[in-house]
């Protein structure tokens, strides 16, 4: 192998590794399903434009994956850590519940790790939740301003992407696409894509997902989000067990019920955060 060939091969390996690190949580259809299902169960006191905005919310719910377009160098790098949190890499520590920059500082200084490799998912959820709170506040103050519903739908749809990510167990672990073996190989590589595509391939519909869901107010949003991610993390062994049994390749009633439950969990979290954002907006102080 000459030097030029070796350089090209090394570059290809690096590129493949970078591309592989941008795993999706669900295919676009899965994210759309979460958003539509949540919208259909919003209570009547939430504005009609939002309750009836399921199709818009579904479209915007896919935007964070669109932002990872490989041609978008700045945006792609800014976005990459927002979709996951590798719980094991926190070394049993808790992320600070203040803001993203305190989280970045903790990961860099205390854990001696790179934040974009550990993940920023809970901060992404909190930031878009608060953007939605602000949008709803503006709507309360100026309900005839036609610009405001548009931004509420954009922020709420984006939030639905990250809540959907949190419900996918492999977005809470460094073993997001296979189990690392002692000899350096990876067992069950490809599992991530199997789960990502499951809702779309197996026709899990918004009607099926939303059945029986009811909006609940969240008292401590930061604590709730982190508890949700920790609970999602507990389902990782089951993911690998279903995959080892071939039940994602050839779905069984049990594997379909498992994925449906995770999609429903994502829809419930989305619904609760949207509803809580609306309630909180009522008592938000003036921006200025």
The two three-digit tokens of residue 277, written as one number? 């954002």
Mean pLDDT of 186-215: 96
Contact 125, 225 (CB under 8 A): yes
Check whether 12 has a pLDDT greater than 80.
no
- Is 100 within the bounds of a domain? no
- Is 77 within the bounds of a domain? yes
The two three-digit tokens of residue 283, written as one number? 């008592």
Contact 38, 210 (CB under 8 A): yes
Dump the DSSP string for 44-92: TTS-HHHHT-HHHHHHHTTHHHHTT-TT-HHHHHHHGGGG---GGGGTT
- Is 287 within the bounds of a domain? no
Query: Number of structural domains, the chain?
Result: 1
Mean pLDDT of 125-137: 98
> Residue 25's pLDDT is what?
63
Q: Which uninterrupted H or E stretch holds 186?
A: strand 186-187
Check whether 260 has a pLDDT greater than 50.
yes
Query: How far, in Å, CA of 177 to CA of 159, rounded?
Result: 24
- Is 1 within the bounds of a domain? no
- Is 13 within the bounds of a domain? no
CATH code at 44? Answer: 1.10.575
Check whether 6 has a pLDDT greater than 80.
no
Kindly compute the dihedral angle of the four CA atoms of residues 119, 125, 128, 132, in this order, to the nearest 10 degrees.
180
DSSP state of 179: E
> Residue 26's pLDDT is what?
59
State pLDDT tens for residues 38-59: 999 999 999 999 999 999 999 9
Contact 60, 153 (CB under 8 A): yes
- Is 230 within the bounds of a domain? yes
Check whether 189 has a pLDDT greater than 50.
yes
> Residue 11's pLDDT is what?
35
Query: How far, in Å, CA of 17 to CA of 21, rounded?
Result: 6
Query: How far, in Å, CA of 219 to CA of 129, rounded?
Result: 14
- Helix, strand, coil percentages (3-state) for the chain, rounded to 5, are 65, 0, 35
- Is 48 within the bounds of a domain? yes
Q: Which uninterrupted H or E stretch holds 187?
A: strand 186-187
Q: What are phi and psi of 178, to 5 degrees?
A: 120, 160
Query: How far, in Å, CA of 154 to CA of 131, rounded?
Result: 10
State pLDDT tens for residues 155-169: 999 999 999 999 999
> Residue 24's pLDDT is what?
61
- Which residues are registered as beta bridge partners of 94? none
Percent of the chain with pLDDT over 70: 91
- The residue with tokens 């939605």 is 132
40: Cβ–Cβ under 8 A, 6 or more apart, which residues?
54, 206, 207, 210
- Is 178 within the bounds of a domain? yes
Domain residue limits at 54: 40-90+119-282
Question: To 5 degrees, how large is the angle CA 139–CA 143–CA 146?
Answer: 90
Query: How far, in Å, CA of 19 to CA of 68, rounded?
Result: 10
**pLDDT confidence bin for 14, thresholds 50/70/90:** very low
Query: How far, in Å, CA of 264 to CA of 269, rounded?
Result: 9
**pLDDT confidence bin for 83, thresholds 50/70/90:** very high
Q: How far is CA 139 from CA 44, 145, 147, 153, 275, in A?
A: 16, 8, 9, 12, 14
CB atoms within 10 A of CB 174: 15
Record the pTM: 0.90
State pLDDT tens for residues 109-122: 999 999 999 999 99
């Amino acid at each position: 192998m000459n030097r030029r060939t070796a350089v090209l091969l090394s570059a290809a390996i690096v590129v493949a590794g970078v591309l592989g690190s941008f795993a999706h949580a669900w295919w676009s259809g899965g994210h759309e399903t979460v958003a539509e299902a949540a919208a259909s169960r919003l209570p009547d006191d939430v504005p009609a434009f939002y309750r009836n905005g399921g199709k818009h919310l579904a479209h915007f719910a896919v935007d964070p994956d669109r932002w990872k377009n490989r041609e978008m160098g700045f945006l792609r790098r800014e976005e990459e850590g927002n979709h996951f949190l590798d719980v094991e890499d926190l070394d049993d520590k808790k992320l600070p519940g203040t803001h993203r920059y305190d989280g970045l500082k903790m990961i860099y200084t205390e854990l001696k790790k790179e934040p974009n490799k550990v993940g920023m998912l809970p901060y992404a959820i909190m930031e878009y939740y608060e953007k939605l709170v602000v949008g709803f506040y503006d709507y309360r103050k100026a309900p005839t301003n036609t610009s405001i519903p548009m931004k509420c739908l954009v922020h709420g749809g984006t939030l639905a992407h990250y809540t959907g990510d949190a419900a996918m167990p492999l977005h809470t672990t460094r073993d997001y696409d296979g189990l690392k073996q002692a000899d350096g190989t990876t067992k069950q590589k490809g599992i991530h894509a199997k789960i990502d595509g499951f809702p779309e391939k197996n026709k899990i519909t918004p009607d099926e997902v939303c059945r029986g869901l009811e909006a609940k107010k969240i008292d401590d949003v930061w604590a709730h989000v982190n508890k949700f991610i920790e609970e999602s993390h507990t389902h990782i062994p089951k993911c690998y067990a279903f995959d080892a049994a071939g039940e994602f390749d050839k779905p069984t009633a049990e594997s379909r019920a498992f994925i449906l439950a995770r999609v429903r969990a994502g829809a419930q979290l989305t619904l609760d955060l949207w509803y809580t954002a609306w309630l909180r907006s009522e008592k938000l102080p003036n921006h200025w």
